[in-house]
C-alpha cells in the first residue's frame, strides 16, 4: 500500500460504507481524570483539510475532556488486511448552526433519539425507562472535527511487518512519509 496516496481514500470509503472496518473508530482523549477511550462512528472525511468528522452529544464526557485538552488519538483496525492505522490530531466542535443544521437534517429519525435523553450520557439510571424529548434532541447534537497531524500505519505480515509514518508539515503544506521500525 502506498500509504500517502491510499490512506485518505480508504478513510473516505470507510465513512460511507457501513461495513468497512474503519467506520468504527477508537477515540482517545485526556480529561481532568486522565485518559479515556471509546468507539465512535466515522461520519465524513475531508482529505484536503485533513479532517475526520464524528457526531456526539454535547453533554458527553468526550466533550468535557476535549475542553480540558483537545489533542486526540484515533485507532483504526482492519482485521482482514491486518492493518492498523493510528491518527493523532486536534479536535474542535463545530459551532456554525447552519453547518450543524445541515448535518442534523440527514440524521435519521431513529438516530435522533440518541440526543433526546433528558439526562446526559453516563448519568446513573434510576427506576424506570430513560426519559426522552425529541424537541430537545437538536440542541444536544454536535459535530466533532479532528484535524489530523500524524498518521502511523502498521501492516502485520508473515514475512515481516511494515510501518509507515506520515507527518503533516505546515510550512510545505504537505505530508512527509517515511518507513519506521514496526
Of the candidates 173, 152, 144, the residue with the CA atom closest to the CA atom of residue 44: 144
pLDDT of residue 93: 97
The pTM of the full predicted model, rounded to 2 decimals, is: 0.93
The whole-number pLDDT of residue 126 equals 83
For residue 76, the cross-strand partners are 85
Measured distance CA(164)–CA(176) in Å, rounded: 10
Question: 76 CB contacts (<8 Å, ≥6 apart)?
Answer: 11, 14, 21, 22, 25, 26, 84, 85, 86, 87
Q: Averaged in consecutive runs of 10 residues, what is the pLDDT profile of the chain (182 residues)?
A: 76 97 98 95 97 97 96 98 97 95 96 94 85 93 98 95 96 93 95
Predicted pLDDT at 2: 53
Tell me, what's the pLDDT at 87? 98
Amino acid at each position: 500500500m502506498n500509504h500517502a496516496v491510499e490512506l485518505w481514500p480508504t478513510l473516505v470509503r470507510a465513512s460511507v460504507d457501513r461495513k468497512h472496518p474503519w467506520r468504527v473508530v477508537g477515540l482517545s482523549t485526556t480529561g481532568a481524570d486522565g485518559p479515556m477511550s471509546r468507539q465512535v462512528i466515522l461520519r465524513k472525511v475531508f482529505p484536503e483539510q485533513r479532517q475526520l468528522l464524528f457526531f456526539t452529544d454535547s453533554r458527553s464526557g468526550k466533550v468535557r475532556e476535549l475542553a480540558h485538552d483537545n489533542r486526540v488519538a484515533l485507532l483504526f483496525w482492519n482485521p482482514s488486511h491486518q492493518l492498523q492505522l493510528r491518527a493523532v490530531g486536534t479536535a474542535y466542535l463545530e459551532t456554525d448552526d447552519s453547518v450543524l443544521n445541515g448535518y442534523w437534517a440527514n440524521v435519521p429519525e431513529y438516530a435522533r433519539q440518541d440526543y433526546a435523553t433528558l439526562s446526559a450520557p453516563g448519568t446513573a439510571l434510576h427506576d424506570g425507562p430513560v426519559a426522552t424529548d425529541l424537541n430537545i434532541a437538536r440542541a444536544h447534537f454536535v459535530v466533532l472535527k479532528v484535524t489530523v497531524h500524524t498518521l502511523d500505519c502498521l501492516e502485520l505480515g508473515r514475512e515481516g511487518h511494515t510501518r509507515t509514518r506520515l507527518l503533516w508539515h505546515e510550512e510545505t503544506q504537505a505530508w512527509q512519509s517515511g518507513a519506521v521500525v514496526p
